[in-house]
Amino acid sequence: MNQRISLSRYLVEQQRVDGLIPAQLRLLLEVVARACKSISQSVNKGALGGVLGTAGSENVQGEVQKKLDIIANEVLIEANEWGGHLAAMASEEMDSIYLVPNRYPQGEYLLMFDPLDGSSNIDVNVSIGTIFSVLKKPEGHPGVTEEDFLQPGAQQVAAGYCVYGPQTTLVLTVGDGVAMFTLDREMGSFVLTQENVRIPEDTKEFAINMSNMRHWDAPVKRYVDECLAGVEGPRNKDFNMRWIASMVADVHRILTRGGIFMYPWDKREPNKPGKLRLMYEANPMAWLVEQAGGAATNGRERILNLQPTKLHERVSVVLGSRNEVDRVTRYHLEA
Ligand code: P6P
């Protein structure tokens, strides 16, 4: 029987063999994985744990917070603040950055996360997930400010997500490809179930919220219309559509079997570049997708090149199978 490799062993070997993961980063990733296990336990309890429904508050995005949003956020903060690997954290659920309390040693990493993405799916038992991104704190000055977080996604040193679905699966990159770890609940550990993940360059499956069609910009409408025209249209092939309304689940499907995911700018709120957040949704997902051979743009530019200007900045997202993303990007540049 081929030996099962735990997340811990994978990280140690990546550290020892490739020198890709300094000890402090390995500790950070192990702690984040343990926090995801704890969140998975709460999610899996559902109504039995009294964790469904809303918390009666709003987050910085003006979105109603679910009880599990707050629980997941607290789990990640409490798991990561004492280890000495972090200088500060930032979360979709918190207005400003969270500095590691002075009673704990300060580390050299910055951790950003969407603690529970897709939370509109919590109460209807559809897959949700935690998305995280790791940057190095810029050197040369004491303390941490929000500006220290405002680095392009290309500066990430680790990124990943944990999808809480039929399986609980942690997906991770440190810049040497993408690996997937499935939670073995009997052992309580994440086990390597796939590495060197590759996204097919072509696909017949697109993911977008079709109810927004009348609000889309022309290039997006052109692309989707061509998909809908199928084998009789200019693409000469039929397409399938999926929209789970949980980015983690849609991206996991794309990493697993290909596809294109789009949450583009639309006319509903013209001053908003898009719905998804750059720092802790688009950047980590864009790096994972690129590390698996896919592409990720905002319709015009590579997402990982974008210079953030504020912590909770939003962005338009087109990611997945490289040839399809290139086509949508080309349509935007031609427009
Ligand atoms: P809509 C979840 O709220 C989220 O941020 C992403 O996970 C998901 O892809 C998107 O929003 C769904 O948005 O407008 O279809 O509900």
Share of the chain above pLDDT 70, in %: 99
Above 80 in pLDDT, residue 18?
no
Residue 114 assigned to a binding site: yes
pLDDT digits (tens, 9 = 90+) for 153-199: 999 999 999 999 999 999 999 999 999 999 999 999 999 999 999 99
Q: What is the pLDDT of residue 236?
A: 97
Q: Is residue 200 part of a domain?
A: no
Counting ligand 1 atoms within 8 A of each CB, the residue from 61, 246, 252 with the most, and so the one to mutate, is 246
Query: What percent of the chain is predicted at pLDDT more than 90?
Result: 87
Q: Which residue has the tokens 């040693």?
A: 105
Is the same domain home to 286 and 188? no
User: Residue 3 pLDDT > 90, yes or no?
Assistant: no
Mean pLDDT of the chain: 95
Averaged pLDDT, 295-318: 98
Determine the pLDDT at residue 107: 95
- Residue 182's pLDDT is 98
Is 140 labelled a binding residue? no
Residue 222 has pLDDT above 80, yes or no: yes
- Tell me which of 192 and 63 has the higher pLDDT: 192
89-114 pLDDT, tens digit each? 999 999 999 999 999 999 999 999 99
Region of 231 (left: φ > 0; alpha: ψ -120 to 50; beta: rest) is: alpha
- DSSP code for 270: T
Distance CA 207, CA 248 (A): 12
pLDDT higher than 50, residue 1: no
**Does 21 have pLDDT greater than 50?**
yes
> Strand 240-241 vs strand 205-207: parallel, antiparallel, or unpaired?
parallel
Q: Which domain holds residue 27?
A: 7-194
Q: Are residues 187 and 216 in the same domain?
A: no
Instruction: Please choose, from the candidates 194, 321, 183, the residue with its C-alpha nearest in 3D space to the C-alpha of residue 260.
Output: 321
Same domain, 163 and 25: yes
List helix spans (H) across 99-246: 146-149, 218-229
Asked, for residue 253, whether it belongs to a domain, the answer is: yes
pLDDT at residue number 256: 97
Identify the residue whose C-alpha is closest to ligand 1 atom 1: 245
CATH label of the domain that carries residue 151:
3.30.540.10
Residue 182 lies in a domain: yes
Q: Is residue 239 part of a domain?
A: yes
Which residue matches tokens 């296990």?
A: 37
Residue 112 has what pLDDT?
98
Q: Does residue 287 lie in a domain region?
A: yes
Local structure of 102: helix, strand or coil: coil
State yes or no: pLDDT of 282 exceeds 50: yes
Residue-wise pLDDT tens digits, 316-325? 999 999 999 9
> Pocket around ligand 1: residues whose beta carbon is below 6 Å from it?
117-118, 120, 209, 245-247, 263, 275-276
Domain end call among 148, 175, 194: 194
Same domain, 220 and 298: yes
Determine the atom of ligand 1 nearest the C-alpha atom of 250: 9
Indicate if 177 and 228 belong to the same structural domain.
no
Q: Which residues contact 224 (CB under 8 A, 6 or more apart)?
A: 206, 208, 210, 213, 216
Mark whether 213 and 180 lie in a shared domain.
no
In angstroms, what is the span from residue 258 Cα to ligand 1's centroid? Answer: 19
277 phi/psi in degrees, rounded to 5? -90, 140
Does residue 80 sit within a domain?
yes
**CATH number of 229's domain:** 3.40.190.80
Of all protein residues, the one whose alpha carbon is nearest to atom 2 of ligand 1 is: 118
Q: Is the pLDDT of residue 328 over 60?
A: yes
End residue of a domain, out of 194, 220, 249 = 194
Residue 160 and residue 189 in one domain: yes
Q: How far apart are CA 315 and CA 47, in angstroms?
A: 34
- Is 148 assigned a ligand-binding role in the annotation? no
Distance from Cα 208 to the centre of ligand 1, integer Å: 10
Residue 120 and residue 261: Cα distance in Å, rounded?
18
DSSP string computed for 245-269: S-HHHHHHHHHHH--EEEE--BTTS
Q: Which of 117, 251, 253 to mutate to test the pocket of ligand 1 (most atoms within 8 A of CB)?
A: 117
Atom of ligand 1 nearest to the CA of 120: 3
Task: State how many domains the chain has.
Answer: 2
- Asked whether residue 298 is domain-assigned, the answer is yes
In a domain, 1, yes or no: no
What DSSP character marks residue 123?
A: G
pLDDT average, residue stretch 53-57: 81
| Domain match, 189 and 259 both | no
What per-residue confidence (pLDDT) applies to 293? Answer: 98
Where is the domain boundary, 194, 213, 232? 194
With 80 as the cut, is the pLDDT of residue 41 above it? Answer: yes
In DSSP notation, 75-102 reads HHHHHHSSSSSEEEEEETT-SS-EEPPT
Same domain, 226 and 294: yes
Q: Token pair for residue 335?
A: 């427009």
Which two tokens mark 300? Answer: 């015009």
Q: Cα(278) to centroid of ligand 1, in Å?
A: 14
Same domain, 240 and 173: no
